[in-house]
């Protein structure tokens, strides 16, 4: 159980943080009214500037390939030297 005095700030990543803000009444007043959400603070830009960052996928792929390559090199070195976990 969590007890909150007056305010709580909650973050849930780039996609879900705007949704949490809007469900809490912070966002574009027209959208909030349309969904029957009481307006706590009108901020029209909440959730309006979400962009894909395609470079992150490439970085993840490079890191994954790099990790696999390092693991393979480690296994080959351990087998040649006859030492380590793989022998």
19-67 pLDDT, tens per residue? Answer: 888 998 999 999 999 999 999 999 999 888 876 555 555 555 556 666 7
Which of the pair, 85 or 22, is modelled with greater confidence? Answer: 22
Would you kindly state where each structural domain of the chain is located, as residue ranges? 1-49, 56-86
pTM of the model: 0.49
Q: How far apart are CA 42 and CA 13, in angstroms?
A: 21
Which parts of the chain fold into alpha helices (H)? 13-23, 29-34, 54-81
* Chain position carrying tokens 């966002």: 27
Q: What's the whole-number mean pLDDT along residues 3-31?
A: 84
2 CA to centre of own chain: 24
Whether the CB-CB separation of 18 and 27 falls below 8 Å is answered with: yes
Neighbours of 25 (CB within 10 A): 14
């Amino acid at each position: 159980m969590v007890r909150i005095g007056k305010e709580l700030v909650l973050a849930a990543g780039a996609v879900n943080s705007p949704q949490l803000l809007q469900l809490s009444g912070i966002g574009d007043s027209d959208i909030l009214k349309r969904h029957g959400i009481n307006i706590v603070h009108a901020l029209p830009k909440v959730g309006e500037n979400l962009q894909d960052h395609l470079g992150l996928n490439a970085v993840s792929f490079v890191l994954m390939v790099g990790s696999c390559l390092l693991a393979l090199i480690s296994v080959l070195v351990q087998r040649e030297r006859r030492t380590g976990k793989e022998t």
